[in-house]
Structures are given as C-alpha cells and as structure tokens.
Structure 1
Amino acid sequence: MKHSLKELGPGILVSAAFIGPGTVTACTLAGVNFGYSLLWALLLSIFSCIILQEMAARLGVVSQKGLSDNIRYELKKPVWRLVALALIFSAIVIGNAAYEAGNITGAVLGLQAVFGGQHVSLFNLEVNIWSIVVGAIAFAILWIGNYKVLEKVFIALVILMSLAFIITAIAVKPDIAKILNGFIPYDISTGILGVIALVGTTVVPYNLFLHASLVSEKWKDKKYLKTAKIELIIAIVLGGIVSMAILICGAAAGLDDVSNALDLAEGLKPVFGDYASWFMAIGLLAAGITSSITAPLAAAYVVKGCLGWKTNLKSTKFKAVWAFVLILGVFCSSLKIQPIQLIQFAQIANGILLPVIAIFLFWVVNKTSVLGDYKNSLLQNIFGALVIAIAIFLGVKSIYTVL
C-alpha cells in the first residue's frame, strides 16, 4: 500500500484538474436540467479522457519530453512549426487565463456560500476579496516549486472533495433505476451544449500538455510505463465517479434553477439541513484551488516547450508564466460577471479547443521517430480516431447551436 501511494502523482493532478468548479457547475446543471439522462455523456467523457491521457502519458515517459516540446521537434518546416506553436501557445495561455477565472470563481463561490461576499474598492473597481485570497493560496503553493509538495497537496484536496460529493450523492437517496437508465443515450441531440460542457470539463485540453510533462519528470525509465497507465486509469475513474456523484446530486435535489453555490446547496437542505452549504463549500473550494493551481502550471509547461526553455519549476521564467495566468484569472474573477456564465463559457470553449490539441497529440504518438516500438497500435488508433471524431462533431455542433 505504501509503495502504491508513492506512485500516485501525475494522474491525481489530472483528475484534480478536471474536477474543478467547471465540473461541479456543468454536472449540477446537467442534473438539474436533464435529470439522469446525460450520465451516458459522462461515461463517454471518462472513456475519451483515458484514451487521450494514456497517449500523453506514454509520450512523456518514452520521449522524456512534453507534448509541446515534441511538436516543436517534429515539425521540421519552420513555417508549419511557427503556425502550430503560435496556435497552441495562444490557445492554451489565453484559454487557461479564462479557465483560471472560472476556477477561482468556483472556489470563491464555495467561500461565499459560508462566509458571504467580501468586496473592496480598488482604483475605481470593486474587487472581490475572496478572489485575491484564493489566488494567494494558489500562488504560495506554486511558488514553493516542489513537485512532491504539489503531489501531497493535490492528493489531500482530491480525497476531501471526493468524500464531500460522494457522501452527498449517497445521502440524497437517488432512484437507482433512473440512474441506470441515464447511461443509455436515447436522444443525443438533447442538451447538446450540456454534453459539450461535460466533455469539456472532463477531457481538458491543457491536461494533455500537463500530464506528458509531469510523467517525464516523475518517471525516467520506460519500465514505469505500466505503472503510469495504471495510476492514470485509477485517478480518472475516481474523478469520473465524483463527476457522476455531482450530476446525481443535481438530479435528485429537485431544483428548478441554479445560479450560484447557495442554489446548489438549497436542494441538499432536506438531507443535511444548515450544513448543506458547508458540504457544497468544501467541495467547491477544494475543486477550485486544485484547478487554480493546475491551469497556470500547464500554461507554463506549454510555453516552456514551445520556446524550448531548459527550465524547471523553480526558474524565474517558468514562474513568470504561471504568475501571469494566475493574476489574470484573479482579475477576471473579480469582475461583475455571473459566475455560472463564466464557468460555463470556459467549459464550452474547452470542448471546442479539444479537437485541435487532440489531433496534434494523435499525430505525434504515431511517429516512429518519437516513440519507436511504443507508438500507437491499430486498436489505439481506432479508439483515438473515434474520440477525435466525437470531439470534432461536438465542437461543430456547439458553434452551430450557439449561432
């Protein structure tokens, strides 16, 4: 058991990244608006996540480089390399800043559910104090620059929020028959934006970059490839169970509308009484802090790979990138934008960005020059192509639906 716990790390960070406020929001809204009928979409998301993250993990362990590093090395023509890296650079860094705002906002909702709103005027702007507090916590943890410390913090927070949501899902006594029925996609067109949000909140594009970089730092030999795969599958399945628990809570709570954390807790009052807000606050706060750390960290790894930096967690350049994303996220979180809208926007944007990043990953893991005998097998290519096709369909459908 002690040996198994030591092997936990990159996979836990991946699950911690996707079980953020976006997951809490998207899964709760899916449950409130569509009952248990979108559980199949979560199951599809978990399957897709395992397929893509396994490719990223294999790439990191075998090549000992991150995804953006490999793309930079393998695109031989300068023009194509510049275009590809510029696209990845802008999409991940700018996208993560927006995503970071949703993460911090989610953690803030958790604090406000218990302690109420706290604001202060600064340069003619009304700033949310809790956004600064959450940002400061994330900044302090990242500033330490110690990977082992990050692992321990994430494992603790993931366990905390997993217990909060799974216990809640059991306590609301959901209808088991309806839950089982929800895994059958009767009408795929129903709640298409909800489906995209669920996929976007589970298969997070920046996690593909983050995971490849983290496994290359933790495991320095190909013999650990099997360990990396097992650890990843366990972590993602656990994350998927938590996501399903949140959706079940939303479906069983009997709510008509959700606009903030207090609304999410309202449906739990018959079970937990006044402590309902505390359970939701703990889950949201833990989810928000973990994702508030991983989004800037992933952006820093992407920039490092795109620009070819030989840096580590403690380097000034590396810290400058994650600090920029974190500060921008705190600023956007402080603006008077409806929290649910901000988090939903981030999830849908992720769902649209996913196909682009997945195609780059798929291309790299099929190159013999990168992975040799460890490149994708025929079966892995079939599953990978299927996941990318689904991601493209959902992305196009999302744009069409919004327009």
Structure 2
Amino acid sequence: MTDNAGVESAGPAERIRGYAGEMGPSWIAGAIAAGPATIASLVTGGALFGYGLLWVVVLSAGAGALVQYLSMRLGLLTERGIVAVVEDHLGTTWAWLLVADAVLAAGVAQLVIMKTVATVSATVTGVDARIWGVVWALVLALGLAGRGYRFLELAAKLLVSLVVVAFVASLFVVPVDYGAAAGGLVPSVPSGGALVAAGILGGAVHITLITMQSYTMRSRGWTRDDYGTAAFDVGASMLVAFGVYSLAIFLVAASVLTPEDPSTAVGAAQALGPLVGADAKWLFLLGLWGAAVSTLGGNTIVPPFLLADKLGWGTTIDDARYRWLLVAAALLSAPGAFIGGAVIGQLVLVLAVGTVGTPFAIAVVLYLLNSDAVSDRNSRLANVGGVALLLVTGALAANFVREQVAGGIGPLSGFVLAFAVALGVAIVGLGGKYAVEEVG
C-alpha cells in the first residue's frame, strides 16, 4: 500500500513522481488492451477504410480509461473482488453469469493470442510455431505460479513501455497525411465496418479488463486510501500509453497498407518492408511480438481470478488451489498454436465477440456503484459517462450480431446470437431491478 497521505500533501511534481513510482494494476489491463487483437483491428481498419475510423481509435482510449476508472472505484470502495460483491448484492445466479461471460471471452481470446505469439516467435526465430506454443505455455505456468502477481506487473510495465516506443518509432518512418487523417475524426461507420469498429473499441473496453481490475488492486494491497494513486495509474496506462499506441498503429496502417496486406499476423509488418523500408517492418514486428507476449500473460490470470473468487478460494499464489488454476490456464493455452487459418481475422472476431459480453459487465459495475454496495455512490457525471459507454458498446455489439446473422445462421453466428440475447435479457432485468429498488 502507498503512503497516500504523504503523496497528497506533496507539491505537483513530487505528487506525480510518487504516483508514477507506485503504478501497476492498470498496466496489466493496458497490457491486455495493447495486444495483438487490438493491433489486428487497428491494422484491418486502417488498411480497409483508410483514416475513416480514426474517431473510433480516439474514442477507444477515452472509453478504456473511463471504464477502468469505474472498475477501479468499485474495487477500492468495496475492497473486494467483483464476483464476491455481485454474489452478495445480486445473488449466486448473477455471479455465475458474470463468471461465465468473462471466462468464455478470456478463454477464446487466450487460444488466438497464443497462436499470435507462436506465429510471431516463429517468424523472428525460424523455430516452428507449435514448438513455441508449448514453450510459452510452460513459461507462463512457471512464471505465474512461481512468482505470482508482482512478476506479471513488472513484465507488463516493461513490455507495454517498449511496445509503445516501437510503434511510435515506426510512425516516424511512415508518411502520414495528417490533413486526411483529420477527416477521420468525424463519426461514421462505413459499409462493412461494424465488425472492425467493434474490434477497435473492444480492445479497450472489454469484459476481461473490467472484471480483473478489483483483483489486481487487491494483489497490490491497495485500499480506498490509495484512490489518487489508482486514478493516476488508470490515466497513465489507458489514456496516455494505450492511446498513443493505438494512434501510432492505426496511422501507420491507414497511411501505407492496402486491404490485401494484413492477411496474416505478420502480414502487415512484412508489407511495410517494400513500402517504407526494413526499419519500419522490424519495428512493427517487434512491437507486435512484445504486445502479444504481454497480453498472453495478462489474459491468463483472468479466469483463475474470477473462478477462485466465486469458489471462495484465495486469489494469490499463497492459496495452492489458485496456483493450480493458474497452471491449468497457462497450459490450456498451448493448443492455440495448432489452430489453422489467418490469425488477423480471428483476432478481430475474438475482440468483437468480447464486445458482445462487455455491456453486461458495464451494467453490473454501474448497478453496484449506485447501490448500497459502496459507501460513496457514483457522481452524476460518472453515471452519464458510464451509461453513454453502455449505449455505445451495446450499439456496436448489436451491429456486429446483425452482420453475423445477415450472413446466415451457422454454428458461430447462432452461438453469437444466443450469447447476445441471453446477456441482453440480463441487462434489461438488471435495469428493471434497479428501477424497482429506486422506486421502493
């Protein structure tokens, strides 16, 4: 825990240095957000639609910071994991629904992220991707189960910082038409762009990021006394680092890539070579590698956190049951390296599917922050922002579902539709429950 009183009484420069020295939990969320699925969505959006979706990129950074701030408030004001709070104030059924929603989104993402890590590792080293899948799974299991949260936090801060530097550096060797880019700040969704827009926003506003925040802060030992440090942590990681990262990748892709370029995980990086030189290619490729590794580690801890909390177990490696959940989650990611097909499209789809599950998590957080679960209820401004975020993510999720169903009801589109309907009913039920309680 930080010496928050000392930080708050210091001058502005000393306060910022104090906060910066204590950052951590939100950087793990940033490591997941700044991952290969987000890169896939940004590259695809830039290559297909030029600068047209720049407004979504800008929105995603602000929206990501807002939703992490709301999740931070819930975690600090309750000083408990989100699943335990939901179970106490909404009941077991609602708690299991949240766990299932988050575990499904994180589990599917884990496999495709592992495929990306293995593919990029193979491209850089020449060693078979399937071997890399097994190696990375073992590294995850040993690192997380042996060192725990502090190992992951240190790796996340280091890798995210390096990734941001790599992508910003690539921006300087690519010609960007900033006049044309300004036109992309006008909100519009081009035909066929709903999936990509949902993927871009889903990278920053995702159920895994929302649900993990309370657990990472508990692992760090933060309480409501650390509110200032936690708020600074959110702003630095999501608004600044993630925002710069997203803008750099999107502008590079929109400036030089075409729809034919990003066909594989490394297709975008390889396409940059003949277009603007080998430096941009390798900077982009190394950035993708770092982003994939950091996201893989951060995403691995989400299902164990939620399942352990629901089962009443500890959420640190001091509890052997939680440690074995970490090992299982790490090892079960290895089969992702054996999945066939082009990974860019799979990554965008994974984020879009996650977007379908995200509005429910936002609704749960807003409900709890306006209930007796917390001693200090949300301000009107925070509620307005939260509801706006709920409406935007809901609209993007609905557009994505509509596009999937328009192509015919198959196994995937049928699953997405059923998933969306179930969570939509849950959101309506939650809103009705809150209205009845307020009237009462």
Q: TM-score, normalised by structure 2?
A: 0.83
2:38 aligned residue (23, 41, 65): 23
Indicate the residue corresponding to 2:426 in structure 1. Answer: none
Note if contact 2:141-2:330 (Cα within 8 Å) is conserved in structure 1: yes
Alignment of 1:204-243 (within 5 A): 204-237=206-239, 238-243=241-246
Q: Is 1:82–2:86 an aligned residue pair? A: no
- 2:364 is aligned to 360
Q: Is the 1:105–1:288 Cα contact (8 Å) retained in structure 2?
A: no
Report the CA distance shift for 1:283/1:376 in structure 2 as closer, same or farther (over 3 A): same
Residue identity over aligned pairs, in percent, reads: 21
Instruction: After TM superposition, list the pairs within 5 Å mapping 1:297-316 onto structure 2.
Output: 297-316=301-320
Q: Which piece of structure 1 moves more, 383-392 or 213-222? A: 213-222
For residues 63-78 of structure 1, what are the structure 2 equivalents within 5 Å? 63-75=78-90
* Counterpart Cα distance in 1 of 2:360 and 2:306: 15
Residues 1-400 of structure 1: pairs in structure 2 closer than 5 A: 3-75=18-90, 81-116=91-126, 118=128, 128-187=130-189, 191-237=193-239, 238-257=241-260, 258-270=262-274, 273-367=277-371, 369-373=372-376, 375-400=377-402
Structure 1 residues without counterparts, runs of 5 or longer:
76-80, 120-127
Q: CA 1:69/1:11 → structure 2, altered by over 3 Å: closer, same or farther? A: same
Structure 2 CA distance for partners of 1:270 and 1:389, relative to 1, 3 Å: same
The one-letter amino acid of 1:73's match is D
In 2, Cα distance between equivalents of 1:328 and 1:365: 35
Shift of 1:366: 1.0
RMSD of the alignment, in Å?
2.0
Amino acid in the other structure paired with 1:247: F
Residue 340 of structure 1 aligns to a residue whose secondary structure is: helix
Pair 1:134–1:284, CA change in 2 (3 A): farther
| Amino acid in the other structure paired with 1:315 | D
| 8 Å Cα contact 2:176-2:251 kept in structure 1 | yes
CA apart distance, 1:298: 1.3
Distance 1:343 1:384, change over 3 A: same
Kindly state the Cα deviation for residue 95 of structure 1 after the two structures are TM-superposed.
2.2
Letter in structure 2 aligned against 1:385:
V
Post-superposition shift, 1:6?
A: 2.2
Q: Which moved more, 1:303-312 or 1:377-386?
A: 303-312
Name the aligned partner's letter for residue 247 of structure 2: M
Structure-2 separation of matches of 1:94 and 1:321: 15
Alpha carbons of 1:44 and 1:231: their partners in 2 closer, same or farther (altered >3 Å)?
A: same
Render the CA deviation track for 1:10-65: whole Å, top value 9, x for unaligned.
12111111111101111111110011111111222222222211111111112111
Q: CA deviation at 1:131?
A: 1.4
Is the Cα contact below 8 Å between 1:52 and 1:384 reproduced in 2?
yes
Specify every segment of 5 or more residues in structure 2 that has no aligned partner in the other structure, as ranges.
1-15, 406-440
Deviations 1:97-153 (A, max 9, x none): 21111221222232233234616xxxxxxxx11212222232232122343332221
Distance (whole Å) between structure 2 residues aligned to residue 186 and residue 314 of structure 1? 50
Number of residue pairs aligned between Structure 1 and Structure 2? 388
Asked if structure 2 preserves the Cα contact closer than 8 Å seen for 1:205 and 1:357, the reply is yes
Determine the C-alpha separation between the residues in 2 that align with 1:137 and 1:172: 35
- 1:167 deviates by 0.7
| Preserved CA contact (<8 Å) 2:37 2:113 | yes
Work out the CA distance in 2 between the residues paired with 1:74 and 1:352.
24
Q: Tell me the residue number matched to 1:122.
A: none
Judge conservation of contact 1:89–1:303 (CA < 8 Å) in 2: yes
AA at the equivalent of 1:87: L
Q: Cα offset for 1:331?
A: 0.9
Structure 2 counterpart of 1:125: none
Contact 1:26/1:197 (CA < 8 Å) preserved in 2?
yes
Counterpart secondary structure, 1:214: helix
* CA distance in structure 2 between the aligned counterparts of 1:188 and 1:381, rounded to whole angstroms: 30
Aligned-residue offset at 1:193: 0.9
Deviations 1:313-342 (A, max 9, x none): 342221222333332222133222332232
1:101 is aligned with what amino acid?
L
Following superposition, the deviation at residue 301 of structure 1 comes to 1.1
Structure with greater contact order relative to length (CA < 8 Å, sep ≥ 6): 1
Q: 1:5 Cα deviation (Å)?
A: 3.5
Bigger CA drift: 24-33 or 147-156? Answer: 147-156
Cα deviation code 1:56-99 (max 9, x no counterpart): 11111121112112101112xxxxx2322222222222321211
Partner of 1:313, secondary structure, is coil
In 1, are the aligned partners of 2:74 and 2:214 still within 8 Å (CA)?
yes
CA distance in 1: counterparts of 2:175 and 2:281, whole angstroms? 18
TM-score (structure 1 length as normaliser) = 0.90
